[in-house]
Structure 1
Amino acid sequence: MIVVREYDSSRDLADVEAVERRCEVGPSGKLSLFTDLLGDPLCRIRHSPAFLMLVAEMGTEKKEIVGMIRGCIKTVTCGIKLDLNHKSQNDTVKPLYTKLAYVLGLRVSPSHRRQGIGVKLVKMMEEWFRQNGAEYSYIATENDNEASVNLFTGKCGYSEFRKPSILVNPVYAHRVNVSRRVTVIKLDPVDAESLYRLRFSTIEFFPRDIDSVLNNELSLGTFVAVPRSSCYGSGSGSWPGSAKFLEYPPESWAVLSVWNCKDSFRLEVRGASRLKRVVAKTTRVVDKTLPFLKLPSIPSVFKPFGLHFMYGIGGEGPQAAKMVKSLCGHAHNLAKDGGCGVLATEVAGEEPLRQGIPHWKVLSCDEDLWCIKRLGEDYSDGAIGDWTKSSPGSSIFVDPREF
């Protein structure tokens, strides 16, 4: 008999960790990436407005946890609408919001699979989503993870929706140079919120509680890159505030924010041969000994390492991609100072600024897969049709709380 109930940290932690370990048995002879949640199974959802973790328990006298699932709910942009009250020469668009749920961390013990436990966990989580007003539910999985894709699209009614790219760059033993032609300005959270709401709130998946994200303790800051030759790049005191900046922007500029995933979870690559470990260590030794050569080195990913996540990437102008590259260089140096092994981001497959994001193809994923399901028929912001059937835009906003 399987009973699904809410996770209780006072008695379930050890059993949940045991299931996580049993699920971390990778393919023999192949590299596998393992995630350490630092003793907190809720760490990847607790920063969301509403969250829940369920466990599946088997047995009558001696009960055993054989599966778990995590979920959270937030309000995001799902489309745009015209502001009919705006009297300017051009019509203005406003974000159209919906309540969106996210499923992550589904685990079923290998010895108890193919018994319907995964489906039961998903259905129970979806029921909680509906009770809390969620109109859509979505999941992210690897495009080649057939078991996960079949479970959600074949048995749970989800459909393939978006295929963003995860771009990962190693953090070298040396600091990278940021172009001297670019000035990087750090914004305070209030100004950063204003910039995002004024310019990026109509992007798909933009969180309405962006202020909570930017003010979170894991947020390391929001940075804007402008040409040093512009009036905003002349030094301290030249930033006029986001509203004024957007009213009179330089020809090209870019923005991104950085999130500290290192304090939420650690990663580790297992299954590497001794030769690969030696080669990786050699690149680090050479890089550290001769930093002036600026040789790309492979971080120590064969033991637990942390990462920083870049989000909210945007910008305008013919040199916007170069501005993004400078911001990524600045973020790399932050990650190096923070002791991280890699720097990562996730962007839409057609994101025009992705050419400015340094990454190693061998570490990245060209096609992550997001699947979505419609849960309700009523919309608080008015009828928009079915979001699941909408065409993808050139950009998406990836919430760092769910990476």
Structure 2
Amino acid sequence: MGEENHEIVVREFDRKKDLLGVEDVERRCEVGPSGKLSLFTDLLGDPICRVRNSPAFIMLVAEIGEQKEIVGMIRGCIKTATCGKKLSRNAKISNNNNELIKPVPVYTKVAYILGLRVSPPSRRLGIGLKLVRRMEEWFRDNGAEYSYLATENDNLASVKLFTDKCGYSKFRTPSILVNPVFAHRVPVSDQVTVIQLCPSDAEILYRRRFSTTEFFPRDIDSVLNNKLSLGTFLAVPRGTYTTESFPGSELFFSDPCESWAVLSIWNCKDVFTLEVRGASLAKRALAKTTRIVDRAFPWLQVPSVPELFKPFGLHFLYGIGGEGTRAVKLVKALCGYAHNLAKARGCGVVAAEVSSREPLRLGIPHWKKLSCAEDLWCIKRLGEDYSDGSVGDWTKSPPGLSIFVDPREF
């Protein structure tokens, strides 16, 4: 699987001979918006680990010259996900003895591009374009109907590559919300009960309430049963249920409480670590001071800056949802619970990605300086739409209130 043009060869990653070269490129490439502190990622010795948990995946590398120097790489994966919904007269629900037509998901085979990197000295040679085009060939060969990717809104070079040269359209602008893990525990309201759901109950809940949400993966059971998924947690008002009295998701939805919220936690810490570089000595000293005070006087709950200037791990919150007038407060309680779990497991930050229109985002604590208000998702139609139903051209569909971010692609 290779192509040569101007001494540039694009082929499939071979761990035995490419690992050191890929690691070198990864170290030389910064991640994150320009003009801010540089963020570097370390994939813990397995460059393909961030897509390995997907149903179908591949990693390609670009090499150049007689020395066959690795100068670029790209990762890609394919899954079946929701691209819209339709009303089915064969799927009805009962509401006060009246039958209502229930919306059902429309699925499509969608591919995701992750981790496009080109070594700085080798940029502007068309290497990124070659990698993308070869990846799209693999997508088409494996039946993908759409391809999408996430990039920083102010990364002009990346946006130009995909929209001007590769035919992608700007599609969605979700927000990445990042909160530091403090030295103190975050108090969780005693008016809230947090229940950990077993994977089967979590699957029922997600399919019942989120299967028509954009990008919801049809293999959600594989996600929830993955070893990197630390659990799914349901928050209800105190006195509604206890862990022992929770009847299971099926009975829960037959008579749901007025307000509830849910989220799941993905352990990115065992896949990759991050490191912030470029901070001044003054900023480092200030951050260290906040940590010292927070550790010495945890009851003060000082909003300390974690040690981000050395490799740190994160937990990713996904599947965030809920209903009712108290849903935002319940989400906030779940985020506090997730913070304390991340603290116990030695993480530096907790992150979530939600639609910019998501009402529940008000309950997700985050620091603006660590977050990204508009993460840009671009999409391209690779061929005819063979999805189960019809939503027309997904690339032209308007955004909904929510979006499901697959943790395997974060």
Q: Tell me, yes or no, whether TM beats 0.5.
A: yes
Asked if the contact 2:86–2:389 (Cα under 8 Å) also holds between the matched residues in 1, the reply is no
Within 5 Å, give how 1:362-373 maps onto structure 2.
Answer: 362-373=369-380
CA drift at 1:211: 0.5
Q: 1:349 to 1:28 in 2, by over 3 A?
A: closer
Give 1:170's aligned residue.
180
Give 1:38's aligned residue.
44
Matched, 1:110 2:110: no
Q: 1:133 to 1:144 in 2, by over 3 A?
A: same
1:11-43 CA distances to partner (integer Å, 9 max, x unpaired)? 100111112223249999952111111111001
1:99 corresponds, among 85, 109, 123, to 109
Give 2:394's aligned residue.
387
Question: Could you say what the CA RMSD is over the residues aligned between the two structures, in angstroms?
Answer: 1.5
The secondary structure found in structure 2 opposite 1:251 is coil
Give 2:168's aligned residue.
158
Within 5 Å, give how 1:164-243 maps onto structure 2.
Answer: 164-230=174-240, 232=241, 235-243=242-250
Q: 1:128 to 1:271 in 2, by over 3 A?
A: same
Matched, 1:20 2:26: yes
Give 1:52's aligned residue.
58
* TM-score, scaled relative to structure 1: 0.97
Q: 1:364 to 1:123 in 2, by over 3 A?
A: same
1:229-285 CA distances to partner (integer Å, 9 max, x unpaired)? 32x1xx332111101111111111000000000000001111111111111111111
CA drift at 1:87: 4.8
Give 2:91's aligned residue.
86
Structure 1, unaligned runs of 5 or more = none
CA drift at 1:162: 0.1
How far apart in 1 are the matches of 2:186 and 2:111? 38
Give 1:255's aligned residue.
262
Asked if the contact 2:273–2:312 (Cα under 8 Å) also holds between the matched residues in 1, the reply is yes
Asked if the contact 1:30–1:272 (Cα under 8 Å) also holds between the matched residues in 2, the reply is no
CA drift at 1:399: 0.5
Give 1:316's aligned residue.
323
Query: What is the number of residues matched between the two proteins?
Result: 399
Give 2:142's aligned residue.
132
Asked if the contact 1:161–1:369 (Cα under 8 Å) also holds between the matched residues in 2, the reply is yes
The letter of the residue matching 1:205 is F
How far apart in 2 are the matches of 1:294 and 1:26? 29
1:328-367 CA distances to partner (integer Å, 9 max, x unpaired)? 0000000000000000000000001010111111111110
Give 1:340's aligned residue.
347
How far apart in 1 are the matches of 2:213 and 2:30? 35
How far apart in 2 are the matches of 1:25 and 1:244? 45
Deviates more, 1:80-89 or 1:98-107: 80-89
Matched, 1:326 2:333: yes
Asked if the contact 2:92–2:102 (Cα under 8 Å) also holds between the matched residues in 1, the reply is no
How far apart in 1 are the matches of 2:366 and 2:161? 31
How far apart in 2 are the matches of 1:351 and 1:26? 23
The letter of the residue matching 2:294 is D
Superposition misfits of 4+ residues, deviation over 3 angstroms:
24-30
How far apart in 1 are the matches of 2:35 and 2:208? 50
Asked if the contact 2:27–2:40 (Cα under 8 Å) also holds between the matched residues in 1, the reply is no
How far apart in 2 are the matches of 1:29 and 1:133? 39
Give 1:74's aligned residue.
79
The letter of the residue matching 2:89 is L
The letter of the residue matching 2:147 is S
Give 2:252's aligned residue.
245
Q: 1:135 to 1:203 in 2, by over 3 A?
A: same
The letter of the residue matching 2:302 is L
Q: 1:236 to 1:381 in 2, by over 3 A?
A: closer
1:310-335 CA distances to partner (integer Å, 9 max, x unpaired)? 00000000000000000000000000
Structure 2, unaligned runs of 5 or more = 1-6, 94-98
CA drift at 1:86: 3.2
Q: 1:286 to 1:396 in 2, by over 3 A?
A: same
Give 2:131's aligned residue.
121
The secondary structure found in structure 2 opposite 1:287 is helix
Matched, 1:267 2:274: yes
How far apart in 1 are the matches of 2:263 and 2:321? 7
The letter of the residue matching 1:85 is N
The secondary structure found in structure 1 opposite 2:359 is coil
The secondary structure found in structure 2 opposite 1:115 is coil
The letter of the residue matching 2:73 is M
